[in-house]
Amino acid sequence: MPFQFVVLLSSLVLAAVFAVGGKYLYSQESSEFELELSASRTTLFNVYALQREALLQHMQVLAYSIATNVDSVNLMSAAVDDMRNSAMRGDNTARVQRLHDMFKTQLAQQWDTLTTQYNVLHMQYLLPDGTTFLRMDAPTNFGDVPLSIRPMLADVIKNHQVRSGFEIGRTYAGTRGIAPIMRTDADGQKNCIGIVEVGIRLDKQLDRLSRFFGSGYAVLLNSSSVTGVMQEKYTPTEKIGDRFLLSSSGPEAAEWLKAGKIIIDEAAPREEAQDFLLNWTDRVSKKEHQYQVITFPLHDYRSRIRPEYPPPGTMLLWRDVTEQVQQLHNARVRSIGTAVVVWLLAQALLLVAFYVPRKEWRAHLRRRAAIIKQLSNRNALLLKATEDGICGVDRDGNISFVNRAALMMTGFGIEELIGKNVHSVLHHHLPHGGGEYAAEYCPLMQTLSDGKARNSEEWYFRRDGSTFPVKVSATSVIENDVITGALIVFHDITEQRNRQEALLQLATTDSLTGASNRRHFFDQLEAELSRQRRHGGLASLLMTDLDFFKLVNDKYGHAAGDAVLSHFVRIVRQTVRRSDVIGRLGGEEFAILLPGDGTSGGRELAERLRRTFEENPTTIGGRTIPCTVSIGISDLRTDDMTADKPLLRADIALYSAKEAGRNCTVLFDPSSTDSTAVNQAIRQSEWKSDPATASTPPAASTLLNSVKPS
């Protein structure tokens, strides 16, 4: 190989290596930026969640403190008693109005304190049945019963427990606390005499969060959740598209919504936050800024306790990441510049290196090739692994990490799996309604116990409770001769299972009629004979043959004949039980196995089947194709060592039905059977489970009990 070519090739390889290295550094900067965004998203979401729970607790305490206040109890007690007495005297309307005015006057100072010190926007008192008695924020609106749109209020009325949550009402949408007002009567019994409800301003809470964390917050309500619930004069004033802007800590949310910049994934998991980067030019400074925008569902009281109900809105969070984006850009430029400078130095060293002994040059080249090959192998392994679900667990089986493929297969969010026991989440019960799956039988838990690698096929549970088959391998992680955890790799084998079931179906059923094919029917018959020999019991066998079926094919065509066969099988399935087995033995000949049913029941079913088939002819292309069936009946006996004997007895009965004029059922009568003649017929027929090669059974009309149709 020419020296110049070697130099050129080496230079190109070196350039490629540094290009890969530069790309790696470039991607590392991007990965670190993505990690920072992810950490920020998680932090902001968790902080909001903690603040939300703290607010709910605060609202419960506030509502409870008002409900247990002596003034509230005395006022509500007097109001309820007075209203009851007024109703008895017939002057209810005037008395109620006076009570309402008195109540409002005495609570005015309390209402002023709540609005100024606690940012309360809404407070109302209700009668024990949920009828509105007094709304302090809308005193003229009372007397309604909003239970149909207020599930939290309905629950408080039902069990008299303090509750809190976000709800949309007729006059107010926000976080509420509801508590019953209880009175102890003279007999010591506690009775609910009323209900107090308080609602807090969301904008104040959002402003505090925004100032403390330097982020923006906004609450969006779906139009479908507001329309028909809130009275029109109380709905949020700003509606953009199909959403109402309930509250916002800054003007950005409204501007982005109007510009169509907000992306909300309606199909996202209920508790998963979504984020994206948004470029926006500030109207005042005219400078372009980059924002990290985070969205997640806004749950109300009903959607929190009942997952089948959708959230009524969306929480919107954002923070300015212009500086971080600029830092990312600078870091990328530095990475590329560093890679170029180092490559130039390396290229110079490479040219110098060609003057060292050739042996040294070759060794250096081999080391380079090994590094590249190792990097290639690792990349290939990583790509292969990411196609499967990967899950790491600690010594106790608690999940420590999980990849995206596993999350997609199971439907769980990452926060729902981290720290949870993998067996309790994914493997806790047997599939298809089976019982609890004990942990000691779980292959993963066994691997954690003894350190042995295992491969098995299992059923895993998805988040929605459905199951899917997986092929899973579990490998222990051993450090310093101690098992510290395990690695689980699994993939969905649903398609493989479906193919296997389809092949089994193809191997055991007749493709035209859907009945069991000849081989499968004989397997079922042999199994039933074995069961009878072990446990005894009753069973019977029907042999059927469609009368003059050749004439159907000749007159109407083979397609019509196939339709008649399929129609017959459908009628059989409608007549027999699920445990009975129908098999097509050949042509128009079918056999029906009736486990647990003797000849009496078999005879009754056969006659019902014969009449039904006769009275319901096949219809195809507007034409009616009449056809009848002849049926022979025999029992199964404990001394039947093979399927040949019961099949022959039923076939003899069928032959007699044909001789008797067809369209009838014939029962093989053992009491009048000449056993010598039957045994001779068995030997002569040499039944091979193949009627094409078997000889015609002898006439046995004198040995059989025939039943003709009425």
Active site residue ranges: 588
Q: d(Cα 153, Cα 67) in Å, to the nearest integer?
A: 14
The number of angstroms, rounded, from the C-alpha of 673 to the middle of its chain's C-alpha atoms is 62
Q: d(Cα 487, Cα 394) in Å, to the nearest integer?
A: 9
Three-state SS letters, 73-119: HHHHHHHHHHHHHHHHHCCHHHHHHHHHHHHHHHCHHHHHHHHHHCC
What would the two tokens of residue 96 be? Answer: 């109620």
Beta-carbon contacts of residue 479 (< 8 Å; ≥ 6 apart): none
Tell me whether strands 665-668 and 629-635 are parallel, antiparallel or unpaired: parallel
Residue 280 — φ and ψ, nearest 5°? -150, 135
What would the two tokens of residue 392 be? Answer: 């790491």
Rg of the Cα trace of the chain? Answer: 41
DSSP state of 436: B
Q: What is the DSSP string of 562-590?
A: HHHHHHHHHHHHHHS-TT-EEEEEETTEE
DSSP state of 234: G
Judged on CB neighbours under 10 Å (0-12, 13-18, 19+), 651 is buried
Report yes or no: 462 and 470 within 8 Å, Cβ to Cβ: no
Q: Which residue is listed with tokens 């060794």?
A: 363
Beta-carbon contacts of residue 386 (< 8 Å; ≥ 6 apart): 403, 404, 405
Give the torsion sign (CA, 323, 324, 327, 329): negative
The number of angstroms, rounded, from the C-alpha of 316 to the middle of its chain's C-alpha atoms is 27
Within 10 angstroms of residue 551's Cβ, the number of other Cβ atoms is: 11
Q: d(Cα 124, Cα 104) in Å, to the nearest integer?
A: 10
Beta-carbon contacts of residue 312 (< 8 Å; ≥ 6 apart): 166, 168, 221, 222, 225, 298, 300, 303
Q: d(Cα 340, Cα 14) in Å, to the nearest integer?
A: 12
Q: What is the DSSP string of 244-295?
A: EEEEESSTHHHHHHHTT-----TTS-TT--EEEEEEEE-TTT--EEEEEEEE
Q: d(Cα 483, Cα 432) in Å, to the nearest integer?
A: 34
Q: d(Cα 506, Cα 500) in Å, to the nearest integer?
A: 10
Report yes or no: 510 and 584 within 8 Å, Cβ to Cβ: yes
Beta-carbon contacts of residue 168 (< 8 Å; ≥ 6 apart): 149, 221, 225, 226, 229, 230, 300, 312
Q: d(Cα 387, Cα 516) in Å, to the nearest integer?
A: 39
Three-state SS letters, 187-225: CCCEEEEEEEEEEECHHHHHHHHHHHHCCEEEEEEEHHH
Report yes or no: 681 and 696 within 8 Å, Cβ to Cβ: no
